[in-house]
Chain A
Amino acid sequence: KNEVEQSPQNLTAQEGEFITINCSYSVGISALHWLQQHPGGGIVSLFMLSSGKKKHGRLIATINIQEKHSSLHITASHPRDSAVYICAVVIKAAGNKLTFGGGTRVLVKP
């Protein structure tokens, strides 16, 4: 079983819809990252969380440490939000390397 699981694997939404991507992990962590990867492009860091909630523009990330769960929400989705969204964790006592989920491929249709 992977240490980091994401759902759904694929998601299609109409422009303007609210999108939620979920991430569950099975290990103790010191931080959780949400990353965005466009086709053929590199990875961009969206959020780094260790507790609570963060917001940036139309993106909101939350984390529940007790439940080992995090969500990424996209409000008023737009076609330019189409990308792969990846959850990654920093496992406690394992250094600063990232352990990644499999990613969620999001397609927002106009």
Chain B
Amino acid sequence: GAGVSQSPRYKVAKRGQDVALRCDPISGHVSLFWYQQALGQGPEFLTYFQNEAQLDKSGLPSDRFFAERPEGSVSTLKIQRTQQEDSAVYLCASSPLTGPSYNEQFFGPGTRLTVL
């Protein structure tokens, strides 16, 4: 596909469950971002990868949140022992490092996580 894809699109978890959210960036995009968007609010930064290196994880809200991108393409955001306050849409975006779109971010459709 041409765009950023995310799976699953919707996830319902019971409080205390672990979840894993997947992001497939645009092929060849070096930069990958994860954002969290609570209902009715703007997104907030979670973490950033350049290839497989996690260069910024300052936005991860707790040590229950973990992200990886082991081969520099697909990324997984894992949330352990989910809490109700984790309910949000998790957005992934990718960006090239060079070329005319180097500073533009291309967003996936998001994963809506509901923790009961």
Contacts and interface: CB of A to CB of B under 8 A. Distances in A.
Specify whether A and B are partners. Answer: yes
Interface of A: 4, 30-31, 33, 35, 41-45, 48, 86, 88, 90, 95-103
The majority secondary structure among interface residues of chain A is strand
Interface stretch (B11-19, B60-68, B77-85, B98-106): B98-106
A100 B43 CA distance: 6
Chain B interface residue bracket vs A = 20 to 34
A45 B106 contact: yes
B110 A96 contact: no
B109 interface: yes
B106 A100 contact: no
Interface string B73-98: 00000000000000000010101000
Contacts of B110: 42
Interface of B: 31, 33, 35, 41-45, 48, 55-56, 59, 91, 93, 95, 103-110
11 contacts: A4-B42, A42-B108, A43-B91, A43-B107, A95-B55, A96-B31, A96-B103, A97-B56, A97-B59, A98-B43, A98-B45
B109 A41 contact: yes
A95 B42 contact: no
Given A95-B56, A97-B33, A42 B107 contact: yes
A69 B31 CA distance: 27
Contact of A42 (B33, B56, B59, B109): B109
A11 to B, nearest CB: 15
Nearest to B34: A97
